[in-house]
Amino acid sequence: MSEDLITILKSKTKTVKIHRDLATVIIGERINPTGRKAVLEALQAGNFDIVRKDAIDQVAAGAAVLDINAGVPGADEPVLIQQIIRKVLEVVDVPLCFDTANPQALAAALSIYEGKALINSTNGEERSLNNVLPLAKEYGAAVIGLCMDDNGIPKTAEARFAVAARIIERAAQAGIPLEDVVIDPLAMAMSADSKAGRIALDTIKLVVKEFGVNISMGASNISFGMPDRRYINATFIAMAIHAGLTCPITNPLLVEVNTAVLGADLSMGRDDYGMRWIKAFRKREKDKVNS
């Protein structure tokens, strides 16, 4: 079994350490126009008020890193992602994760960022590896590697592990240290494949045992198409943390998910004297009184 590694991310003044002995690092997912009509329309109109509020609210709810997506159809994405970064950093100071499939937009984001960013993401496709890994090396960023390749998304944990191993090998060839590669085992919709959750959990275990790297995941994908999604998400994220998930990309404003993360950390001995759990409980009670 490999030693668990520490991935370090930085903003201008803050450092976040990701490691299985530390508290789970939530990457806030809400600054993303995909599927959020209000955000999309605001960005199309050049209005960043929602983005700024999302940044403040997510950090207040426990997000230690913020995912930034500027995928607005028809927009100049390199320009827009820089605008979003500047607006976000006016109101919060946490490390950022740049979520784009556009190499020009990724380069634009990394070029103005003061710190060590996380790139979301590369995968096992040759085009993706060739576009993203040189930028990660150039700017000293960490990178998320998705367990898919030119043949699509593998249907077994063993095949996804093989993709993860290939991404890690290519990152090493590019001069990126192992601790700066975060693997995403892919949480697919259980409504389409009832085994999807189990495959993702098994992939986590295989990757962690062999490489000790940190694990990210868009955890809410698992419940797509199912009723009462928040309960599925909460259950799955707690199980994934036990399996080795360290930095999920999720919505920290969902109480069920947030408490599942806190409860998992407490259960695994990562919350000394339950102080973070107690603090969160008191905040929820205060919010009830003030609502």
* Residue 209: band (very low, low, confident or very high) from pLDDT cuts 50, 70, 90: very high
pLDDT tens column, 108-136: 999 999 999 999 999 999 999 999 999 99
Contact 58, 97 (CB under 8 A): no
* Residue 291: band (very low, low, confident or very high) from pLDDT cuts 50, 70, 90: confident
Cα 15 from Cα 248, distance rounded (Å): 18
* pLDDT at 1 (0 to 100): 74
* Residue 290: band (very low, low, confident or very high) from pLDDT cuts 50, 70, 90: confident
Domain boundaries 10-286, corresponding CATH code = 3.20.20.20
- For the segment 52-80, the average pLDDT, to the nearest whole number, is 97
* Residue 249: band (very low, low, confident or very high) from pLDDT cuts 50, 70, 90: very high
* Residue 35: band (very low, low, confident or very high) from pLDDT cuts 50, 70, 90: confident
* Residue 27: band (very low, low, confident or very high) from pLDDT cuts 50, 70, 90: very high
* pLDDT at 86 (0 to 100): 98
Q: Is the pLDDT of residue 219 over 90?
A: no
Q: Is the pLDDT of residue 284 over 80?
A: yes
Residues 6 or more apart whose CB falls under 8 angstroms from that of 45 comprise none
Tokens of 244: 């080795």
| Higher-confidence position of 160 and 283 | 160
* pLDDT at 149 (0 to 100): 98
Sketch the domain layout of the chain as residue ranges: 10-286
**Does the bond joining 191 to the residue before it have cis omega, within 30 degrees of 0?**
no
- For the segment 85-112, the average pLDDT, to the nearest whole number, is 98
* pLDDT at 287 (0 to 100): 87
* pLDDT at 247 (0 to 100): 98
Residue 177 zone, left/alpha/beta (φ > 0; ψ -120 to 50; rest): beta
Cα 102 from Cα 104, distance rounded (Å): 5
Contact 130, 156 (CB under 8 A): no
pLDDT tens column, 169-182: 999 999 999 999 99
